[in-house]
Structure formats: C-alpha cells, structure tokens
Structure 1
Amino acid sequence: MKPDWDDLGEKFENSKKVLIGDVDCTEEINKQLCEDQDVKGYPTIKYYTPGIREGTVYEGERDKESLIKFAKSLGPPCSGQNPKRCSKEEKVKLDEYMALPEEELQAKVAEASEQIKTAQEEHDALLKSLQSQFEASDKNIKALKETLEPEIKLMKGAMLKPEPKKEAAPKEEV
C-alpha cells in the first residue's frame, strides 16, 4: 500500500484542497499525536475537515484507484461556512444545529462520539472473544486429527483384505 500512498501524495502535491501525508507512529516523536488521534494500527487512514481537529477513519478500498477517487471527492464539507455544499436534508439539520448553544452542540457531539466509541469497544471485545473461541476450537480439531487420523488410516487399511490365494491347477502327468 505504501507505493500507492506515495503515488497519491505525488498526484495531489499541488492541490489546494487535499493534502496527503503520513506519520510513523513507531517513532517516539509521533507517539503522542498517534495516541491523540486514536491510531491503533498500521495502516490507519484518516481524513480531516478544516477546522475540525479529530479525523475520520477512511473505511474504503485501499487500492490506488479507490484512494484517488476518494481524494478527488474531498473538499469543503457542508457547514455554516459552506451552506451551498449542503443537500436540502443537510441544510435543515445544519440550521437546527446552528440554532443550538455551542455548549449543547458540543455535548451532543460528545454523546454521539461516546456511542460510537462504546459500540466499537463492544465490537472489539466480541472479536477478541470470537478469536479466542476460534483458537480453542482450532486447537481441539488439530488434537482430534492428530489422534484419530492414524486410526482412520488403519481402519481403512483393514478394509483392504488380502486377495484370496489362487490354488495352482494340478499339473498333468505325461
């Protein structure tokens, strides 16, 4: 993926609306940034909206063509600064949110973010549990095969009965 990512960066290096970069979270100098941005694995792809510190995790395909298509779709989002970028439905919701006091809006953002975080933690715990169950089951299957496959081989071998010996025809005396 790294070569495709580097190509993407070159393709958009002169863009006024898209900046492509990368951070090595194993380097000590970047660890705090990676922690602040909730980066837990490599590669994590995030995109950012101007004025909003938290990034959004990119969940799309990671081939070069998909990344280019996604980057081309980026631009100023629907916002109070860019209402022309809003669909009719987004504009109605945006107006409702803009009418709220900032503290209430921040509380709503925190609540929705917490719901996502909780759901993600539950999902991760489920994955860990399923992985553990799978590993235990896999271990049992391997042990069973190790024990029973030699027995099965012998039983199948027992089904191959020796061919009855043919009696030699008596020789005629001349």
Structure 2
Amino acid sequence: MKPDWDKLMEAFKDSETQLVADVDCTAEGKPICDNAGVKGFPTLKYGDPSDLQDYQGGRDYDSLEKFVKESLKPVCSPANLDLCDDEKKAEIEKLQAMSDEDLAASIETESKKLEAAEEEFKSEVQKLQETYQKLMEDKDNKIAEVKAAGLGLMKSVQAAKGKAAKDEL
C-alpha cells in the first residue's frame, strides 16, 4: 500500500483543497495519532482535522484516488460556513456562542459517552468470547463422549459388513 499512498501524495501535492499526507505514529507524530484514535497501522483517516473519520474503502491506488477526488473537498464547518445549510449553520453558531468552559464541558461529556460505549462493547465482546469458549469445550467433551462410546468402532463394523456383502455378490 505504501507505494500507492506515496503516488497519491505526489498526485495531490499541489491541491488547494485536498491534503493527502502521512504521519509517522511511532515518532514525532505519535501525539497526533493518539489524538486521532489510531490503534493500528496502517490507518487511513480523512475529514476535519479535529474530527477525523476512519477510511473504509479499497487500499489500491485507483480506489484511493477515486475517494480523494469524490470525497475530499471542503465541507460545512466553522471555517466554511458558506457550505452549510441553515440548520447546520444554526448549530455551529450555537456552539460558537458557548463559553470556552461550557464548550469544553460539553465535549468532555460527549467524549465520555463514546468511551462508555467502547467499554460496554469490549465488555460484551469479552462475555461473548467466554460463552464461545464454554460452548467449544462442551462440544469437544460431547464429541469425546460419542467417540468413547464406540462410534468409530461402529462405523468400522458397518464398513466391514458392507464390504463383506459386496464380496458375496
């Protein structure tokens, strides 16, 4: 993927509206990556730098180029109010009217909701994993019981009887 990404960066290096870049999350870029929620490599993000979204598309050059051309353009934001509909403008203006403290508190509240959702997800996945493990153990035990009860021997006898019947013909 790296060669295609480098080619993409080169193709859009002079763009005034589309930035294609990379960040080394293991060095000086680590704080940026931590802030953006990067957990694995390579991770592709796009959008408003203060609210980057995960890219889910193809990772070959053609898919990446198509995405950049079709999706990476100026969007409604505090910096581009002219691109907003009336409802979004009103929402932005309401947020801009908040004090810095109130805005920070609201961000913290919503961020905690995200963290809680992530924790709930992890907890439920752990429960599912434990259930899966128990089901696998139960299945393995039942298979062992059936085999111990002589299923393999029964099949051998059945096969031998079938062979003997064919030999008699």
| TM-score between both structures, scaled by the size of structure 2 | 0.71
| Identity %, equivalent residues | 33
CA contact 1:60–1:66 (8 Å) conserved in 2: no
**Is residue 57 from structure 1 mapped to residue 61 from structure 2 by the alignment?**
no
Alpha-carbon distance in 2 for matches of 1:80, 1:35: 24
Aligned to 1:47: 46
CA positional deviation for 1:91: 1.7
CA shift digits 1:115-150 (9 cap, x unpaired): 112212221332343234434544554565566458
Q: 1:130 to 1:83 in 2, by over 3 A?
A: same
CA shift digits 1:31-52 (9 cap, x unpaired): 45443443221222223525x3
SS in 2 for 1:82: helix
Aligned to 1:67: 64
Please tell me the root mean square deviation across aligned C-alpha atoms, in Å: 3.2
Larger radius of gyration: 1
Aligned to 2:9: 9
Q: 1:97 to 1:164 in 2, by over 3 A?
A: closer
Report the residue type matching 2:43 in the other structure: T
SS in 2 for 1:163: helix
Aligned to 1:127: 125
SS in 1 for 2:103: helix
SS in 2 for 1:156: helix
CA contact 2:36–2:52 (8 Å) conserved in 1: no
Gaps of 5+ in 1: 167-174
Alpha-carbon distance in 1 for matches of 2:78, 2:126: 41
SS in 1 for 2:48: coil
Which protein has the bigger helix share?
Answer: 2
Spell out structure 1 runs of 4+ moving beyond 6 A.
none
Instruction: State the number of aligned residues.
Output: 162
Moved more, 58-67 or 114-123: 58-67
Report the residue type matching 2:86 in the other structure: K
